Structure 1
Amino acid sequence: MFKPLITILFALALFGAWAEPAWAHGQSGEADVRFAQTIAGMEITVVVRASVQVPAPLQVDVVAHTPGRGGRIDLVIRPAVGGRSSSGMVRVEAGRPGMHRVVLSVDRVGPHELEVRAGGERSVLPFAVLVPQPPPWEVVVHAAFACTAVALVGALVSAGLSRRPAAAGFAGGAVVATVVAFTAGVLSPWFAPAVPEGAPPVSREVMPGRPNAQPVIEVLPGKPGPGSEFRLRVELFDGSTGRRVDDLVTHHAALAHVVVTSQDGSYFRHVHPIRTAPGTYEVRLRAQETGRHRVYAEFERADAGGQLVTGEFTVGGPEQPADGVPAVAGAVSGGVPVTEPTRPVAERPVRVTLDTGVAGVQPWLGMAGHLVVRSQDGGYLGHVHEARSMATGSQRVPDESVAVYAPGLEFTFSFPRPGRYLIWIQYARNYEIVTVAHTLEVGGTP
C-alpha cells in the first residue's frame, strides 16, 4: 500500500522541480514600462517598474544617459479617470550619467498618465498600471496539488485505521489529481495567457487594423540659423478621418524614434521626442551645419504595424558638399566596425562587428546595440539591433544598471543597392550613449 504512495510523492517532487520555468507563461503584467525621452537637452529613459498589487508604492527610475546641463525632473502619475495623483522629483547632475530613483504610489489599476517636466518642457505619456494574474494552467495545477494532498492524507489515515477500501479510494483520487497536474503542466504552453488586472477588454471580433498615420514634419522657426536652437515637430493624422493619431504604443522603449542627419552625414542625432499634445511630438535641437537635413521618424500604431516617415528641413546658409565622412560631435571613441566579408555586396547579408573595449554593455532601448544605416543620398534608412541580444528570447528587458551584454557587438544587415553608406553604431556604457560613425562602400552583386 505504501509503495504507490512513495511513488506518487517522488513524482510530485520531480514535477515541482521540472515545472518551475513555466511560471513565465502569460505574465505580461510583470513587464516594466519604459519611455525614452529627449527633454531639456537630456536623453533619459523613464522606467515604471511593474506592480504586483494595487494600491501600493510604485517605483520609477530615471536613467540619465546624456545629462547635459542636468537639472530637476518632476514626475506626476495620475489615473485617467478618478483616483489620486502622486508626484515626486529627481535631480540630475550636469555631466554625470546614472540612475535616479523615486517612489510614487498608485491606488487603482488601468489607464494612467505619466507627466514628465524638465527645463520648461512637459511630456504626457499614457500607460496602464497592470497587476499580473495567475495563468489558467497554474490554477489547475495548484488545485490538483491541493486535491492530491488531501487524498494522500485520507489514504494514510484510512490505512492506519485498517480501512482498506477507503484507503484505496483515496489513493486512486491522489493518482487522478496527479495526472491532472501533470497534464496541465505539459499543456501549459497551449493555454491562453492570463489577462492582467487593469488591461483593457479585448474584442473577440477580428480587428481590421488601423491605416498608416499621415505625418506633418516641420521645424520652428522654419529655417533655423547655424548654431541656433530650433524645435522639430512631428504631427500625426489619420488619413481616413483627419483626426490626430494618439494611439501610439511603446516601440523599443519609446513612442517615437527620430533620426536627424545632415546631407553629408556629419550631423547625426537619434532622439525621442516628447508628447506635447495628442498626436504631437516635439524635440529641441541645435543646428550645427548649414544646408539640407533629413528627418526619419519611426513609430508603431496600435493594431497596425511599424511605420517609417520622412521629412527634411534646411539650415540657413550655403549647401554643404555631400561627400563628407560621418562624424558625431563629442562622441566617445569605441573602436572601428569590422565587416564580414570585408567588401560588402548588395542584397547579401553582411556581418558587422564592433569591439567596444569595455567589460560589458548595458541595455539601451531594450537592446545591447543599435545599427543605423543611411545611403549617401539620404533616400534610404535602415535600423537593426544587436543580434545576440535579440536572440535571448527573454520577455523581460534587463535592468539598465547592469552591464549584462558581451563587450563585442554583432549585427547582420543586407544593403539594398551598391553605393556608399553611412553607418552609426550606438550602445551604452556606464549609462552613457556611445556613438561610433563609419562609412562603407558596398559593391554590386557579381
Structure 2
Amino acid sequence: MLKPLITTLVALVILGAWAGPAWAHGRSGEADVRFAQTIAGMEITVVVRASLQVPAPLQVDVVAHAPGRGGRIDLAIRPVEGGRSSSGMVRVEAGSPGMYPVVLSVDRVGPHELEVRAGGERSVLPFAVLVPQTPLWEVVVYAAFACAAVALVGALVSAALSRRLAAAGFAGGVVVATVVAFTAGLLSPWFAPMVPEGAPPASRDVMLGRPNAQPVIAVLPGEPGPGSEFRLRVELFDGSTGGPVDDLVEHHAALSHLVVTNQDGSYFHHVHPIRTAPGTYEVRLRAQEQGRHWVYAEFERADAGGQLVTGEFTVGGPKQAADGVPTVTGAASGGVPVTAPAQPEAGRPVTVTLDTGVASLQPWLGMAGHLVVRSQDGGFLGHVHEARSMVPGSQRVPDESVAAYAPKLEFTFSFPRPGRYLMWIQYAKNYEIVTVPHVVEVRGTP
C-alpha cells in the first residue's frame, strides 16, 4: 500500500512544479523584456532579464545585430516613482555583431524607464519590473504534500510500535492529503493566474478596450534628396482624447516596427524607431532612390490589440526606371525562396521555404525568421513569422544567444488578390541580420 502512495506523491511533486505563468499586459512575471532599437546607425536589441526578487542585480544584454561603426551605448534604469537609478555602459565594436552585457540594479518593483543613449540620440522606454508570485493552487499542492509526508511518517512509526488505531488514522491523513494535492494539481488550469508583483492594476479599459491610435507620419526635411540623411517621425494620438498615445507595449520584441520601401522595392528597411517623447517615435535613415516611398508602422496599445498604420513621402530628384526586382540596402545572402504551389493563387495558403545554408540560426525579434510581403502598388503589407519557431504565449521567448533553429525556414501566407508581390525574408546569422528579397506573381483563383 505504501509503494503506490509514494509513487503518487512523487508524481504530484512533478505536476506541482509546472507552475503556470502570470501575465500582465501579455507579459509574464518570468519573461524578459526586449526592445529592438535603431539608434546611432546601429540595429540593436536591449534585453532586460527577468527578476526573481527585488532588490537585486539586473542583467541587461545589448545584442548588436547591425553594429555599423559601433560606439558607446549608455544605459540607465530608473523607477517612475521614487527609488534609486542605476546606470552603465557598453562599447559596441565596429563590424562585430554579438552580445554585450552589463549589470544594473533595481530596488523596487513596478513601472520603470530604460534610457538608451548613443551617438547623440536618446530613447526612453517604459516597462515594468515584475516579480512572479506563487500561484494559489501550487501553495495548496505543496501544503498537501507536507501534510501527507508528516502523516506518512506518523503511520510508519505507529505501525512499528504496533499502535494500529493511530496508524490507521495517519494512513487516512495520507489519503486525504494526497487527494487534495491531486485535485488541486488537476484543477490548476482553471485557477486564475496570479498577477505578478509590480504589474499595473486592472482598469475598465481591459473590458471596454481602447480606440485605435491616429498617426501623423512625417520626414524631416520634408523632401530629402538622394544620398542625404533624414529623420522619419511617427506621432500617435488617441482617437477619443486627442492626446499622445503613450501606452504601447512590447510587441514582437519592440514598441514599434517600421517598414520603409520605395516603389520598386530596391530600397527596404525594417527598423525600430526610438521613443523621443510621449507618443513620438523617430529613426534616422539615409535616402537612396528618388521617387515615392511607403511607410508602414506596426505596434500594439495596452488592452487594444495590434495596429498597422501607413504613410508615404517622396525623395526628390528625377525618377529612375524601375526594373521590378527588389534589392536591399543591408546584408543579403542565402538561397532562393521556393513557393508551394509554384504558381500561387490568391486567397489560398502558400508555403514559402528558404534554405539558408546555415547549420543553425539564432532568433531575431523572438522568431527564427520573418517574411515581409508588399503588393506592387504598395496598398498591402503582410508580415508573418517562421512557422516552426512560433511558440505559445505561455512559453519563454528563445534567447538571442542560442542558435537552435534548422537551416530551412518555412512560412505560410495567403495573398489577398492577384498581382505582383515583393517579399523579403529576414533572419539572424551569427547575430547579423540577413535579408533575402524575392518577387512572386500571384494569379487569380479559377
C-alpha change, 1:10 and 1:239, in structure 2 (3 Å) is closer
Distance 2:183 2:204 in 1: 28
> What is the aligned partner in structure 2 of residue 155 from structure 1?
155
* Paired residues for 1:40-439 under 5 Å: 40-203=40-203, 207-391=207-391, 395-439=395-439
The one-letter code of the counterpart of 2:371 is L
Tell me how far 1:153 sits from its aligned partner: 2.0
Tell me how far 1:205 sits from its aligned partner: 8.4
SS in structure 1 of the partner of residue 295 of structure 2: strand
C-alpha change, 1:205 and 1:45, in structure 2 (3 Å) is closer
C-alpha change, 1:436 and 1:394, in structure 2 (3 Å) is farther
> What is the aligned partner in structure 2 of residue 22 from structure 1?
18
Distance 1:393 1:272 in 2: 22
C-alpha change, 1:206 and 1:90, in structure 2 (3 Å) is closer
* Contact persistence 2:76–2:87 (CA under 8 A): yes
SS in structure 1 of the partner of residue 175 of structure 2: helix
C-alpha change, 1:160 and 1:205, in structure 2 (3 Å) is farther
Tell me how far 1:161 sits from its aligned partner: 3.1
C-alpha change, 1:242 and 1:264, in structure 2 (3 Å) is same
* Contact persistence 1:26–1:192 (CA under 8 A): no
Distance 1:97 1:348 in 2: 39
* Structure 1: segments with no counterpart, 5+ residues: none
* Structure 2: segments with no counterpart, 5+ residues: none
Tell me how far 1:23 sits from its aligned partner: 2.8
Distance 2:294 2:170 in 1: 75
C-alpha change, 1:394 and 1:353, in structure 2 (3 Å) is farther
The one-letter code of the counterpart of 2:265 is G
* Contact persistence 1:22–1:188 (CA under 8 A): no
> What is the aligned partner in structure 1 of residue 9 from structure 2?
12
1:207-255 deviation per Cα after TM superposition (whole angstroms, max 9, x unaligned):
2110000000000011111100000000000121110000001110000
Tell me how far 1:20 sits from its aligned partner: 6.0
Tell me how far 1:204 sits from its aligned partner: 7.5
C-alpha change, 1:396 and 1:321, in structure 2 (3 Å) is same
* Contact persistence 2:21–2:30 (CA under 8 A): no
* Contact persistence 2:336–2:354 (CA under 8 A): yes
Distance 2:42 2:293 in 1: 22
Distance 1:43 1:64 in 2: 6
Distance 1:234 1:247 in 2: 15
Tell me how far 1:21 sits from its aligned partner: 6.1
Distance 1:66 1:205 in 2: 38
SS in structure 2 of the partner of residue 185 of structure 1: helix
The one-letter code of the counterpart of 1:193 is P
1:256-293 deviation per Cα after TM superposition (whole angstroms, max 9, x unaligned):
00000011110000000000000000000000111111
Aligned residues: 442
Distance 1:15 1:342 in 2: 51
* Contact persistence 1:322–1:376 (CA under 8 A): no
Distance 1:20 1:289 in 2: 59
Distance 1:5 1:395 in 2: 37
Distance 1:323 1:357 in 2: 28
Tell me how far 1:334 sits from its aligned partner: 1.0
* Contact persistence 1:5–1:171 (CA under 8 A): no
The one-letter code of the counterpart of 1:156 is L
The one-letter code of the counterpart of 2:19 is W
1:24-73 deviation per Cα after TM superposition (whole angstroms, max 9, x unaligned):
44472110000000000000000000001100000000000000010000
The one-letter code of the counterpart of 2:8 is A
The one-letter code of the counterpart of 2:277 is A
* Contact persistence 1:140–1:181 (CA under 8 A): yes
Once structures 1 and 2 are overlaid, which stretch shifts more, 187-196 or 213-222? 187-196
1:378-413 deviation per Cα after TM superposition (whole angstroms, max 9, x unaligned):
111111000111156662011101111111000011
- % identical equivalent positions: 83
The one-letter code of the counterpart of 1:373 is V
SS in structure 2 of the partner of residue 165 of structure 1: helix
> What is the aligned partner in structure 2 of residue 34 from structure 1?
34
1:129-188 deviation per Cα after TM superposition (whole angstroms, max 9, x unaligned):
111111111101000001111111222232333322222111101110001111111111
The one-letter code of the counterpart of 1:277 is A
Distance 1:211 1:137 in 2: 36
* Contact persistence 1:264–1:320 (CA under 8 A): no
Distance 2:181 2:12 in 1: 9
SS in structure 2 of the partner of residue 211 of structure 1: coil
Distance 2:7 2:249 in 1: 47
The one-letter code of the counterpart of 2:402 is V
* Contact persistence 2:21–2:394 (CA under 8 A): no
SS in structure 1 of the partner of residue 128 of structure 2: strand
Distance 1:201 1:392 in 2: 25
SS in structure 2 of the partner of residue 207 of structure 1: helix
